[in-house]
Structures are given as C-alpha cells and as structure tokens.
Amino acid sequence: MTVKQYVDHTKSLISEICRDSNRQEEKITIVGVTKYVDGPVAEQLVVEGITHLGENRLEKLRDKQEIITDESIKWHFIGSLQTRKVKDVIPHIDYLHSLDRLSLAVEIQKRATKTLPCFLQVKTSYEESKQGVHVDEVLDLVKELKDFDKISIIGLMTMAPLTENKEEIRDCFKKLRHLSQEVQGLNQSNAPCTELSMGMSGDFQIAIEEGATYLRLGSILFGQ
C-alpha cells in the first residue's frame, strides 16, 4: 500500500470512531509522527493533507524541515527534551508535548522569544520506562508555572502502557482527561489546558473515545 492509502484508511477509521463515539471529527488533529521515515516519505503525508508533523529528535526534525519547507506545517516535538538542548530545539517547533519538569520550563522561559504552546507530559501508568510528571504533582507544577509568560499549557499528554489490556489503557486516558479538567479549574491564564495529546497507532480508538484532540500517529500512516 502507498502512504496515500494508509492515510486514507486511517482517516476513515477516525471518522468511523468519531461517529460511533459521538465526537466531532474537526476537534481531532492528526500529528503525523515521521521518526521512522526519511524526508521524502514524510513529505507524502503533507501531500495527503497532514499539516501537523511530529519528531522526537532534533536532528531528524531538521532533516525533515530541509525537505518540507511549506510554511503552513506545524512542527511538534514529542520526545524527551534535555535542558541543554532547549535553545537549539525551540526555534524550530510550534508545539512541545514533553514538558515534564520545572527545570525544563525555566530553561524555556529563559530562551524563548515567543510563547511556546506546551503539553505537560503526565505519567498515567506504572510502567517504569514512561516519562512524565506524576499525576499527583501536575497541579502543583502548573501553579509553579503561573508567571512563565513564554509557556502556554494548552493541554496534557500521556503515553499508555504497551499492553493488550484495553481497560488499563482506557484508565490512563480517563485519568488524563479528569486531570485536564482539574487544571482548567485553576483558571490560570497561561494554562487553558483544553487539549489532550493521547493515542498512538495501537490505541487511538480508545483515545478518541476518551476525548483525545491530538493523536500522535506513526506506524499506521506508513504501514509499519
């Protein structure tokens, strides 16, 4: 199958899931995760109308940006970000999905020339390897960022564990949605927190059902 066919297939699945779960499709943005492919293949996503692209490493992001020069593309950084790399990364991105600690926020505040839309990455599962702020610490971190005018907490992001257990995955996504409502309840001007970045190729159906607004999709778009 071609990238076009994979994209069409994915879009029709998303439409169907939205219909079945009473979600408005316009509220859902596909972030095409291009980390598995080279620039020319990634560019085919753009041809198919995917205008949000995600990468987890700076070098790979820059490779793609050399080839994909369309000004309307929004670039998402979805990988863990080392504090010392902040100054190199932020000039090249429109969204950060992996804000997970105060020290990282301090560095962004120091280096950014304009406000960066960020998702707080939350650890909603007990998997050791998963990064993110602990569920119990999210509200405190948001409050600590109150005066950071270079950071806008537009939403929360999580990764569900790799498991066959759908209820376990659903619990993670539910937890994230409830937490986002708590953040909204703070009425903090730089933390509207209306967006939920959750759902990957293996679990996006559950994510849509639980309110995802940004799906981070990689392998399903490339047939991997």
Ligand X SMILES: *Cc1c(COP(=O)(O)O)cnc(C)c1O
Q: Which residues bind ligand X (CB under 6 A)?
A: 33, 35, 56, 78, 159, 200-202, 216-220
> Is the Cβ–Cβ distance between 92 and 54 less than 8 Å?
no
Say how far residue 182 (Cα) sits from the centre of its chain.
19
> In angstroms, what is the minimal distance from the CB of 203 to ligand X?
8
Residues whose CB falls within 8 Å of the CB of residue 4, separated by 6 or more in sequence, listed in order: 44, 47, 48
> In angstroms, what is the minimal distance from the CB of 127 to ligand X?
13
CA separation for the pair 131, 123 (Å, rounded): 6
Residue whose C-beta lies closest to ligand X:
218
Residues whose CB falls within 8 Å of the CB of residue 174, separated by 6 or more in sequence, listed in order: 210
> In angstroms, what is the minimal distance from the CB of 185 to ligand X?
27
> In angstroms, what is the minimal distance from the CB of 218 to ligand X?
3
Query: Is 29 or 190 the residue whose CB approaches ligand X more closely?
Result: 29
Query: Is 123 or 216 the residue whose CB approaches ligand X more closely?
Result: 216
Query: Is 163 or 219 the residue whose CB approaches ligand X more closely?
Result: 219
The DSSP letter of residue 21 is T
User: Residue 217: how many CB atoms within 10 A of its CB?
Assistant: 23
Query: Is 191 or 207 the residue whose CB approaches ligand X more closely?
Result: 207
